[in-house]
A and B are shown apart, each in its own frame.
Chain A
């Protein structure tokens, strides 16, 4: 493991493997019998240290690299453990760290079979981090798959409702998406000229820029990548695993999945599909337009019909992905930037929403909105965070989601004015759904369980901090989107350059 990145200090480049090593250590420690919740918490907190070191380097130099020199695919085994972080992966790594931390914070130490529970949570976080950091396509793909089985177990063992069906559907659906994606990746690698074939996507995208793939092949490759990544992002019609899966998952798992893991699909499209198959992407953008309109309208109306708060969150979380896709086909840096901000903002807001839903469920034993009421009166702190999550999801100015959506709408206006109109209509739909839910849950007669529950509200700093942490980032990015956009801008510009 020689070679640090271009000019980045040797020692600091080791912060990247540290980012993955710490959760792995945590997993091993928990498996060997360390106290589960405390270990998971410590690992998630400590992981911020290498993260901040890496962030520092990225902010100063634009990127940080770790790993051996790139080799050609003609090697015996061309896979290499190379990691990198630049302005595009930085916000997603930040998102992963924060959501993992608060998911572990929300999880209860008394949960049954705590060891396996926290182990699975850490593994999902590890998979997401690895996928965002990996440069080698082998690891890029593998790390995402690492999260598959823990999600299966989390939903199956600790889930609620139709947990068995949800777990099977989600796992198999995601596996199908991943394999289609795998075919797309194989296709990308093998369309590079023979001497320059490599699994390193940084090199590969430069190679394919210099030697573009033939237009008709680009069409098919972009299509494969769209279906593969689109399934992971729950793009209609590949979405049906998502709402039910999130509704059945225990809160921390839903937070990690809806907040972080789903963003992997969008990240992959930004990283691979847009720069490597630009012509194909343009050619299929009308198909994407139809799909994303369906995402916004169909899932938006479906979310109106939901009677269970978890299901509503599931549908609205899948629906917002349509807006992100609008940014991706807008063809402007502004639109891409908006997509990135919305990805991150939605990650925080979805996590907050599922965390609140989980707490409500813990206290009342139900998340059916008609059975709920009086939250504002009996549990004001919990209600506040419910409000924050709801408002963020609607896109209230001041929150990260607003910043993202407005940039997307402006960025996509010139190319797709009709879709922007549909996107704006989506904001209306999600407002109706969310406001109705908030009204139903927080006002009216108090739920019986809330009255009798000893600590109806969040109990002190110990229970509040995960919510506060997510809220902080929602507002911070909402007020200063440049926190994300500044470092990401050069990367996004490079993506759109021919």
Chain B
């Protein structure tokens, strides 16, 4: 597992160096300030999250996938912050399992849910395969993720399908959300689909039907030099009013 954390560190350091190299043309090519370590994920957890999100949203000929877009950083920051602590989650008992159409009914906060689930996954994969999830082939990783998705595995009290859905939702969120939250690095996901981001005025274009709009995207956390600053503490509520 040590190799994973070293790999994460080296990758992040490399990205930082790349950021410096492009400083001169930042205004035209926004870059994201880099992070060099996780806030919340431990070594084993990073060893699962990084390869897992790479299978959920893979890199391909069109561009980066979730791993390359730093979605692991997004997940790390979310679980470390208000979301992970259960912000806006109604947390009074009694705890009863209902129908899926009645929604989430477990007592775990998102951080607790991920920690419990990933601990169980690490043990399960080691026991079954004698290697970590990261060392499995891509096909075996997919098969394992599909088994989680299908449900039936108990991950430290968390049904595996509930964990899988949370992981998939957070991966897609991190891929497509503003890079202010740590994922969608350099707006790579927005560039691939053609979403212009926080840009705000299409009055002159909305009735130019079918126009090919190829403006580079804009982040809400982009400064005048083009650097995108990752929010340190991203709660929905207390910062909602921008005060």
Q: Do the two chains bind?
A: no
Q: Which residues of A contact B (CB under 8 A)?
A: none
